[in-house]
Structure 1
Amino acid sequence: MEKRRSYISYILLAVFVLAGALYLLRPLLVSNSSASVSVETEAPASSSAAPTAPASGIVKEGEVTFLKGGKTFRKIDVEIAENDADRQKGLMFRPYLSDSVGMLFVFEEPTPQSFWMKNTMISLDIIYVDQNKKIVSIQKKAKPYSEESLPSFGDAQYVVEVNGGYCDKYGIQVGDTIVF
């Protein structure tokens, strides 16, 4: 009888591990399987249905362009967080974010900002931007699920979140500017 309980425990553990793995891989599986059969249609302008997050990980609400010396060198699609509820949720609970997208946080006025990674499943670069849209600091490769405070080290009115390692990969630095 004891062996039977042991086998059942192992089977239940395997089922939970498999379910967790499938949950984490779901965005990749959905985007790969739907890519071959996807047909894009334009929704009518009067549609009241809420948009759903595409395979890229965000619902496009705007674009952020990164400038170096006044010249465009990188552009991403962004979801915009401009109210307290959206800013508090941020990119929490999202298992995937493509390199071509991010989130733009808009605050009413420039003040010292601080973010954390609570309930955030992926590593992020957090880019703090002042009222003149100049990058004042970057918190690189923030650790998923961490509750450590990641400060701006100065006043910031805007914050852009992108995949962890994005800034190093594309040469985004303090002193660069953004346009949105």
Structure 2
Amino acid sequence: MPHLLRKFVAPLVVVILGVVAAAPVISQERSGSPMLLGVDPAALQIVRDSEPVTSFDVEVADSPDERARGLMFRDDFPDDRAMLFVFENERPLYFWMRNTPRPLDILYATSDGTVKTIARDTTPFSDRPIPSGAPVRFALEINAGAADRLGLRVGDVLLHPVISAIAD
């Protein structure tokens, strides 16, 4: 009997403990807990030919966890708000809209803040990759329709202390 206990019961206990330990993580992912980042004290400005086009209060997502979570599960996102995703180096980026309940516009920008691509009116909850189309270092998410409403276009420049620190 002791041999039988070690052979079957001990592994079963390990599996049960693993399931119990993972339950909070699984529950949180399914519950849709949004990640709420603080608003950076410096506004992000978008300029064209050195002239201001618009500005946003910005949340900066610069850690792997913050970038992975982004605006997932966020039902409310004010029109004057943006989320700036900061990556370690320039490379082609692919975003998706998994667990993101609202459509967004995504501006992809190089290390100096120059907008290379704008993905407009993305589809909520979609797993379809949204490519940057070129190596970039930043992505800026804003509410869908804002890029058209504000006349944003490729070649505009994002200005923020985080971008300036990298560009220098």
**TM-score normalised by the chain length of structure 2:** 0.72
Output aligned runs, 1:103-122, within 5 Å. 103-122=83-102
Return structure 1 stretches of 4+ with deviation > 2 angstroms.
none
How many residues align? The count is 125
The letter for the 2-side match of 1:176 is D
Alignment of 1:84-163 (within 5 A): 84-163=64-143
What displacement does 1:122 show? Answer: 0.5
Deviations 1:152-175 (A, max 9, x none): 000110110000011000000001
Aligned to 1:60: 39
Residue number in structure 2 paired with 1:72: 52
**Superposed CA offset, 1:127-170 (max 9, x none):** 00001210000110001000000000001101100000110000
Distance 1:59 1:172 in 2: 25
Report the Cα distance in structure 1 between the residues aligned to 2:130 and 2:74, rounded to whole angstroms: 19
The structural deviation recorded for 1:76 is 0.2
**Which of these two proteins has the greater Rg computed from alpha carbons?**
2
Distance 2:133 2:64 in 1: 21
Give 1:59 deviation, angstroms. 2.9
Q: Which amino acid aligns with 2:84?
A: L
Distance (Å, rounded) in 2 between the aligned partners of 1:104 and 1:93: 17
In structure 2, the partner of 1:4 is none
Q: Taking every aligned residue pair, what percent have the same amino acid on both sides?
A: 32
Aligned to 1:11: none
Normalised by the length of structure 1, the TM-score is 0.67
**1:105 to partner: Cα distance:** 0.4
